[in-house]
Chains A and B, each alone.
Chain A
Amino acid sequence: MKKGIEVSIAASVAAKLARVEVIAAYPITPQTHIVEHLSDLVANGELDAVYINVESEHSAMSACCGASAGGARTFTSTSAQGLELMHEILFIASGMRLPIVMATVNRALSSPLSIWGDHSDVMAARDTGWIMLFCENGQEVVDSIIMAFRIAEDRRILLPVMVNLDGFSLSHVIEPIEFPSQEEVDKFLPAYSPLYTLHPDKPVTMGAYAMPELYTEAKYAQEMAIVNSRPVIAQVMEEFGKSFGRSYKPVETYNIDKADFVFIALGAVSENIKTAIDALKEEGKEAGLISLRLYRPFPAEELIAVLANKKKAAVIERVMPGGAMNSPLYNEVASLVHANNMNLSVQNYVLGLGGRDAHPEEFMEIFRSVDTKQPLRKDMNFTVIGVRA
């Protein structure tokens, strides 16, 4: 049975269903509703967990590292500047292979300050060694948080997982969401059984340093863990479908069978793209959507499969490239196309920055103009939609 609920509240209910044991978090808009509700759940005794009110996001992620190393199922949530303040520790959490789960409520980065949504924050953290999932809607947020713990704690993986949901446009909307029962979740997600913990009964050393003789091997081992996690993640998603009747794939598609043209996007903007695709269909035109639920590790094989026979693609991103020729996802798609000799023309569009709405009409316009579009300059191979010139 579905229940109308704010997505942030639903995210904290998902963390409760996952029986998280330690939460260390610092408030930041638009993440606040998640941590407020978790605080309530702990205060009311509905969730048997320790909530650590840290004094910064840096300490939030640091405390999460300590708690996870101590053997507890650990959760946190942040946004924007908070994710950047954590940045240093993100690398350490993944390097130490600590299966922390974090809900990142995506928001623009200062300066200028903006509390509104885009993907500047997560894109600045994309190569920190975390597994990254993106959500289109509230149901995906709930399901992804539950799956995230299964993925993170799998002995073949043991890596932190970030569940991304768009600030306000997803986090603060009320949606009909179906919650699995506690029994079902317990069956899908058994209690965390850590490989190593900090305990006097079996002392270990965690966080030793590596000399040049060993650093490469240590980082290669970590890289193998994230690269090889891809099939395991797909397996967990499939199993989730069997258990709960909602199946997910690392790469989701919409109307791609008849279309030569596809949008490639991340997160809740996909919903608006789908509206545009439906409108185009009414005009007798076919456009498809490829939405990456899994962004790290990069789902290259899945993407190759769905891009087969496609002629044109538009990569939609909510981040300014910051002096790069293109935005991050475009670079990876272009690299995929090049490495696999694919006959695909790819264009790059930047929109939805700092909470600016991305209207379906704009995606329809992108579809119509993709053939005639020329880059503004040689060193700026992307188009910013809606900027007043």
Chain B
Amino acid sequence: MRRKSLQLYTDHPELEFAVPGHRACQGCAEILALRLALKVFGKDTILAMATGCMEIISTPLPLTDWTLPWIHVAFENAAAVASGIEGALRILMDKNKIPRKDINVVAVAGDGGTSDIGLQALSGALERGTNFTYICLDNEAYMNTGIQRSSSTPYGAMTTTSPPGRKSIGQSTWKKNMPKIAVAHNIPYVATACPSYPFDLFSKVKKAKMTKGPSYLHILSVCPTGWRIPTDLAIRYGKLAVKAGVFPLYEVENGEWRLTYSPEPLTPVKDYFKGQGRFRHLTDEVVAEIQGRVNKEWEELKGMCVK
């Protein structure tokens, strides 16, 4: 039984910290990713959340979806807010104003809140060695505001601000490699994950939780609304992304790279694109170009990973 095996990662798999009643779209894998991650973090956790889908679906005053201490300040500053919380806990414990115990400080933001507007605050918090976990829930565009492109939107994808047209193929830039940017800060733990592989995700969340110092989790969060796929296929498309090598599952522990799941032989990118409205306009030439890039990046990643 799955729930038994979940007990490897959490004492209380039945506890929900993102309770039913939130207003996430049908089939949202982003709230799912968070729901699963929070089970591992457990009740001694404080969440600092950026403006975005997860914030807006959860806290319309006077209601809140969270049963953990939770704060939202603005869009671009979740990492800085988390730094302040971590500092407060540290000094209040040092001064014996609050009992000493391990409290997980977790910052959560979307891909825009991480790789675009929040990148500076995140870099600062990682560089300072803040004892926290930063989770980027990557649904590959600004979904909350209506599917605008971010620097995390994949090449070729149609969004409302990267529309394909006579002079455009859609998104004209390649997805920013956020995990690699996090790794460049020489922090103890960086990992990619996807809720389609929940046990891989649990294990990485647990490692992030146990890390002293900054840890960074980049979680692919399939968005049926923005990717224009049926609501029941979020788990499927997460798996397809991993199997095509588009979103590899790996971790970097103290500078050592390791694939946590090898999907080789990779399935063709076109199998992953098929059925996604955001890629429907792509020509065979563009798909072939993307396939070439995916193959190249996959080989580079394998080269960095220990066997």
Direct A–B contact present (CB less than 8 angstroms): yes
The yes or no answer to B48 lying at the interface (CB within 8 A) is: yes
Contacts of B45 in A (CB 8 A): 200
In contact, A62 and B84 (Cβ under 8 angstroms): yes
Contact A69 B91 (CB under 8 A): no
Q: Is B59 positioned at the interface, with any CB of A under 8 Å from its CB?
A: yes
Cβ of A70 and Cβ of B85 under 8 Å apart?
yes
Contact A24 B127, beta carbon cutoff 8 Å = no
Contact of B88 among A60, A67, A88, A211 (CB under 8 A): A67
Contacts of B123 in A (CB 8 A): 55
Residues of B72-96 contacting chain A, CB below 8 A: 72-74, 76-77, 79-92, 94-95
Q: Check if B59 sits within 8 Å of A198, measured CB to CB.
A: no
Closest to A26 in B: B124
| B124 and A59 within 8 A (CB) | yes
B66 x A205 contact (CB < 8 A): yes
Q: Tell me the number of A-to-B contacts counted with CB atoms below 8 Å.
A: 171
Give A59 to B130 CA distance when docked, in angstroms.
13
Q: Let me know if A195 is at the binding interface, CB within 8 A.
A: no
Does B121 reach chain A (CB closer than 8 Å)? yes
A245 interface residue (CB < 8 Å to B)? no
| Contacting pair B80 A63 (CB below 8 A) | yes
Chain A interface extent, by class: 35 or more
Asked, given contacts A65-B84, A205-B66, whether A21 binds B91 with beta carbons under 8 Å apart, the answer is yes
Closest A residue, CB atoms, query B17: A203
Query: Are the C-beta atoms of B121 and A203 separated by less than 8 Å?
Result: no
Q: Check if B68 sits within 8 Å of A203, measured CB to CB.
A: yes
B61 touches A66 (CB 8 A): no
A74 to B84, CA, bound (A): 9
A291 within 8 A of B: no
- B88 and A48 form a contact (CB under 8 A): no
Query: Chain A interface secondary structure, helix, strand, loop or mixed?
Result: mixed
Q: Does A339 contact B (CB under 8 A)?
A: no
**Residues of the A chain whose Cβ atoms lie less than 8 Å from the Cβ of B95:** 21, 48
The minimal Cβ–Cβ distance linking A239 to chain B, given in whole angstroms, is 25
Task: Please tell me if A54 contacts chain B, counting CB pairs below 8 Å.
Answer: yes
- The answer to whether A209 touches B121 (Cβ under 8 A) is no
**Residues of B contacting A92 with CB < 8 Å?**
73-74
Flag if B92 contacts A72 (CB, 8 Å).
yes
B128 touches A48 (CB 8 A): no
Chain B at the A interface: SS class: mixed
Which residues of A sit under 8 angstroms from B56, Cβ to Cβ? 209
Say yes or no: is A305 at the interface (Cβ < 8 Å to chain B). no
Chain A residues, CB < 8 A from B83: 24, 52, 54, 59, 63, 66
Q: Do B98 and A71 have beta carbons less than 8 Å apart?
A: yes
- Assess the B121–A58 pair: CB atoms within 8 A: yes
- A52-B132 Cα distance, complex, nearest whole Å: 14
For the complex, give the distance between the alpha carbons of A74 and B83 in Å: 13
Residues of A within 8 A of B175 (CB): none
The proximity string for B residues 49-62 relative to A, scoring 1 for CB distances below 8 Å and 0 otherwise, is 00000011001111
Name the distance in Å between B227's Cβ and chain A's nearest Cβ: 25
Of residues 63 to 101 in A, which have CB atoms within 8 Å of B's CB atoms?
63-72, 74, 88-89, 92, 96
Chain B residues within 8 Å of A198, by CB? 46, 69-71, 85
Nearest residue in B to A96 (C-beta to C-beta)? B73
Chain A, residue nearest B70 (CB):
A205
Q: Which residues of A contact B270 (CB under 8 A)?
A: none
**Residue A210 is within 8 A (CB to CB) of chain B in the complex:** yes
B44 within 8 A of A: yes
A211 to B98, CA, bound (A): 35
* B45, B74, B97: residue with the most chain A Cβ atoms closer than 10 Å: B74
Measured CA separation A199–B85 after assembly (Å): 10
Q: How far is it, in angstroms, between the C-alpha of A205 and the C-alpha of B72 when the chains are bound?
A: 8
From A22, A50, A74, A89, give the contact of B73 (CB < 8 A). Answer: A89
Closest to B72 in A: A207
In the complex, chain A residues whose CB is within 8 Å of the CB of B98: 71, 199
B64 contacts the other chain (Cβ, under 8 Å)?
yes
Whole-angstrom CA separation of A13 from B92 in the bound complex? 21
The residue on A at minimum CB distance from B61 is A208
Of all chain B residues, the one with the shortest Cβ separation from A91 is: B74
Contacts of A184-208 to chain B: CB distance below 8 A = 191, 198-200, 202-208
Q: Which of A334-376 contact B (CB under 8 A)?
A: none
Separation in Å of the B119 CB from the closest CB of chain A?
Answer: 11
CA distance A63 to B85 in the complex (A): 7
Instruction: Contact check, B81 vs A50: say whether CB atoms are below 8 A apart.
Output: no
Besides A52-B128, A66-B84, A69-B71, 13 new A-B residue pairs in contact (Cβ under 8 A), listed by A number = A22-B84, A22-B87, A62-B73, A62-B77, A62-B84, A66-B80, A67-B85, A69-B88, A70-B46, A89-B73, A191-B97, A200-B44, A207-B73
* Partner-A contacts on B (CB < 8 A): 43-46, 48, 55-56, 59-64, 66-74, 76-77, 79-92, 94-95, 97-98, 103, 120-121, 123-124, 127-128
10 contacts between A and B (CB under 8 A): A54-B128, A55-B124, A58-B80, A59-B80, A65-B84, A70-B87, A71-B97, A204-B70, A205-B64, A214-B62
